[in-house]
Amino acid sequence: MWTADDIPDLSGSTALVTGASSGIGLATALHLARRGAEVIMTARDRARGRVALERVRAAAPEGRAEIRGLDLADLASVRAFTDDLDRPIDLLVNNAGVAMIPRRTTADGFEAQFGVNHLGHFALTGSLLPRLLAGQGARVVTVSSGAHAMGRIDFDDLGLENGYRRFGAYCRSKLANLLFALELQRLAGGKLLSLAVHPGPTATSIMRPGVFTRPVTAFMRLALKAPEKGALPSLYAATHPGVAGGTYVGPGPRALTPSPRALDEDLARRLWIVSEELTGVRFAALTSRP
């Protein structure tokens, strides 16, 4: 059974983990720092991010970690964040996200679950591509979910203006995450490794009143696994020396088979092109698409 103790020495590498102020993101950042990586943690809420940073520093006193503000619901914030980075990135963990929230839109007018979970990370990854390709063997790990199998993408209604269901919007965003991760690997070839993960049922900030009733939330927090367990697929995908690009890693950790819809290359290409148009970000080093 693979555990965080099996993570190899990461000294000399730089990792960037989005949504690292709590839950799986915080656990991922902590274990990467423990193994010697220089960890850039991002958080939309800088105050919560500073608290998380202190937890990482306390648990990994010899590690190097910092916190930076990043709002994936605002493409201007993504641009400012990437413009301010001045070093190569060896590992990008696209972890942050929102789940099953009432319908709202991002600063750029996108439906929020699709805008944050997919488009924000699409723009971030594309903007960081030169820094990812500056070294050797960079990895991009994108957190999806088993819920992706229930996702549907209607390109004529990306704003879900013709009917919004919280869970359906979440499933759609997780399908987009997996389509993105697999298409990125197809385009990257040997230039980098792109992987996706399914954490499994984990007690994170998603399990809060407002998403579920208080009794259901309390029960689920008792029944679900801790974020440290939920982070194992991300850590395995990020660090295991034998994992192949395009792998979808689930609890265990072990390789999972994506749903047929997630393996639809035509759907992935269409989503990619639409995502480029919506964000204005193009992965020029990987594709010559107009």
Tokens 């995908």, residue located: 237
Contact 281, 122 (CB under 8 A): yes
Q: Quick one: three-class SS letters along 132-182?
A: HCCCCCCEEEEECCHHHHHCCCCCCCCCCCCCCCHHHHHHHHHHHHHHHHH
For CA atoms 261, 263, 269, 272, the dihedral sign is positive
Catalytic residue selected from 164, 170, 236, 248: 170
The one-letter code for the residue type at 167 is F
* 164 labelled catalytic: no
Catalytic sites, residue numbers: 170
